């Protein structure tokens, strides 16, 4: 290795970019990059070996978040297998770019068809389980074999805290995944009751993890359920609010830090937000705002704030005029099934839901 090289050569960097951050010896060979170059760059510290014959940029891997590192390791693990395996659980979720919460699992996880091999295996690179792989649930995303979004949600829900699983489920449902379909294939699996619960209570109208956690707060503390991303306005749909209790004339607004952090237009965003809140209050609505710390780490406090505002604004006989949001369409009149009850939801959480 010439001593003057101080970074990854351009052709290798270009190949890594084209291959989603992970390059295999086979792909490198097809691109006329001899695998011995990858091994030399690995020995020199420029590449990190994630699985046999699979490499990532050492600099990029060190700078990545824990979840992005996990995604790269999962990708490498799937591509390094000699027989076909399909990423599952959190490994599938990150491959589909679904939102994540908590700390990644220690190892990537995958399944293989029992028709190929009756047993699984565990190595320092990942875990493979042998299962019946239903027709239509095994997919490809680029070079990576992966189970469907709905399968990923069901696997996450079986083993992860319910709030974390619901965040993934809302995003998958919003992308059109049929969550009940995958659960049907897991009838006798451990934890399937958790997956059924998540499929039942996922909301495709929730558009961010913080909105999901705000809604879950109402479930956890037995409050009336809000409508996600409803439209309100005086004569027509004007504002879309994160959560609406139409009978109480109360809205919740989730403040994601991404709105403000490191943005030169932060002051303009804050001013626009203040104007929006003034208009909402002119419509007769009370507003409760909350941030990530409350939604993710102190839902008892958040529930107390929701409960106080709902108590101070008791349910009325005449709800506020509102419209349902339909992705790709916009505001539509709500149907009878879209209206929430003004009373506490009384939804029973599955046993052990927090772990």
Of 146, 136, 134, 153, the residue nearest 199 (C-alpha): 153
State whether 243 and 265 are in the same domain.
Answer: yes
Distance CA 258, CA 263 (A): 9
Q: What is the pLDDT of residue 259?
A: 47
Of 125, 98, 309, 294, the residue nearest 224 (C-alpha): 309
State whether 135 and 236 are in the same domain.
Answer: no
Provide mean pLDDT across the span 320-340: 96
Q: What is the pLDDT of residue 123?
A: 97
State whether 51 and 86 are in the same domain.
Answer: no
pLDDT tens per residue, range 46-86:
999 999 999 999 999 999 999 999 999 999 999 999 999 99
State whether 180 and 222 are in the same domain.
Answer: no
State whether 45 and 142 are in the same domain.
Answer: no
State whether 14 and 119 are in the same domain.
Answer: no
Domain boundary among 178, 201, 224: 201
Q: What is the pLDDT of residue 268?
A: 62
Q: Quick check: is 188 in a domain?
A: yes
Q: Quick check: is 4 in a domain?
A: no
Can you give the CATH number for the domain in which 17 is found? 1.10.10
Question: Whole-model pTM?
Answer: 0.92
State whether 232 and 313 are in the same domain.
Answer: yes
Provide mean pLDDT across the span 334-339: 97
* Confidence band of 274 (pLDDT split at 50, 70, 90): confident
- Percent of the chain exceeding pLDDT 70 equals 94
State whether 250 and 321 are in the same domain.
Answer: yes
Domain count, the chain: 3
Can you give the CATH number for the domain in which 309 is found? 3.40.960.10
Q: Quick check: is 348 in a domain?
A: no
Q: What is the pLDDT of residue 117?
A: 82
**Do 248 and 316 form a contact (C-beta atoms < 8 A)?**
yes
pLDDT for 43 beyond 60: yes
Q: Which domain holds residue 117?
A: 67-201
pLDDT tens per residue, range 281-313:
999 999 999 999 999 999 999 999 999 999 999
Q: Quick check: is 346 in a domain?
A: no
* Confidence band of 127 (pLDDT split at 50, 70, 90): very high
Cβ neighbours, 10 Å, residue 88: 29
State whether 131 and 227 are in the same domain.
Answer: no
Q: What is the pLDDT of residue 267?
A: 52
Beta strands per DSSP E along 205-311: 227-232, 239-245, 250-255, 286-291
Provide mean pLDDT across the span 151-170: 98
Provide mean pLDDT across the span 18-42: 95
State whether 54 and 72 are in the same domain.
Answer: no
Provide mean pLDDT across the span 306-335: 97
* Confidence band of 264 (pLDDT split at 50, 70, 90): low
State whether 95 and 190 are in the same domain.
Answer: yes
Provide mean pLDDT across the span 105-130: 94
Provide mean pLDDT across the span 142-154: 98
State whether 82 and 139 are in the same domain.
Answer: yes
pLDDT for 146 beyond 50: yes
Q: What is the pLDDT of residue 111?
A: 98
Of 285, 277, 288, the residue nearest 322 (C-alpha): 285
Q: Quick check: is 5 in a domain?
A: no
Distance of CA 170 to the CA centre of its chain: 8
Q: Quick check: is 75 in a domain?
A: yes
Q: Quick check: is 273 in a domain?
A: yes
Provide mean pLDDT across the span 238-244: 97
Q: Quick check: is 106 in a domain?
A: yes
125-129, 155-159, 270-274: which range is least confident on average?
270-274
Q: What is the pLDDT of residue 260?
A: 42
Provide mean pLDDT across the span 145-165: 98
**Do 223 and 201 form a contact (C-beta atoms < 8 A)?**
no
99-103, 177-181, 268-272: which range is least confident on average?
268-272
Q: What is the pLDDT of residue 273?
A: 75
What does the block give as tokens for 39? Answer: 């091994």
């Amino acid at each position: 290795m010439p001593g003057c090289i101080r970074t990854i050569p351009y052709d290798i960097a270009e190949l890594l970019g084209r291959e989603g951050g992970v390059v295999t010896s086979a792909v490198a060979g097809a691109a006329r990059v001899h695998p011995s170059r990858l091994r030399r760059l690995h020995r020199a510290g420029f590449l990190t070996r994630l699985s046999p014959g699979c490499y990532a940029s050492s600099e990029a891997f060190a700078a990545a978040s824990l979840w992005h590192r996990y995604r790269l390791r999962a990708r490498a693990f799937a591509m390094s297998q000699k027989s076909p395996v399909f990423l599952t659980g959190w490994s599938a979720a990150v491959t589909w770019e679904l939102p994540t919460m908590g700390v990644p699992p220690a190892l990537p996880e995958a399944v293989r068809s029992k028709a190929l091999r009756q047993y699984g295996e565990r190595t320092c690179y990942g875990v493979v389980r042998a299962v019946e792989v239903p027709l239509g649930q095994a997919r490809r995303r680029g070079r990576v074999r992966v189970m469907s979004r709905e399968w990923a949600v069901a696997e996450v829900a079986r083993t992860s805290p319910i709030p974390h699983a619901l965040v993934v489920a809302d995003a998958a449902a919003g992308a059109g995944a049929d969550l009940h379909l995958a659960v049907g294939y897991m009838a006798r699996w451990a934890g399937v009751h958790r997956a059924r619960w998540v499929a039942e209570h996922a909301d495709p109208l929730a558009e961010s993890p913080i909105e999901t956690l705000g809604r879950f707060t109402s479930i956890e503390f037995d409050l009336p359920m809000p409508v996600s991303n409803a439209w309100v306005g005086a004569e027509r749909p004007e504002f879309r609010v994160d959560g609406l209790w139409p009978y109480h004339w109360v809205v919740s607004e989730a403040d994601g830090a991404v709105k403000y952090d490191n943005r030169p237009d932060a002051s303009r965003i804050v001013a626009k937000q203040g104007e929006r809140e003034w208009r909402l209050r002119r419509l007769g609505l009370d507003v409760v705002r909350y941030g990530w710390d409350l939604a993710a780490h102190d839902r008892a406090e958040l529930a107390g704030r929701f409960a106080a505002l709902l108590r101070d604004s008791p349910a009325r006989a005449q709800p506020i005029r509102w419209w349902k949001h339909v992705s790709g369409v916009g505001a539509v009149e709500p149907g009878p099934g879209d209206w929430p009850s003004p009373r506490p939801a009384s939804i029973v959480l599955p046993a052990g839901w927090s772990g």
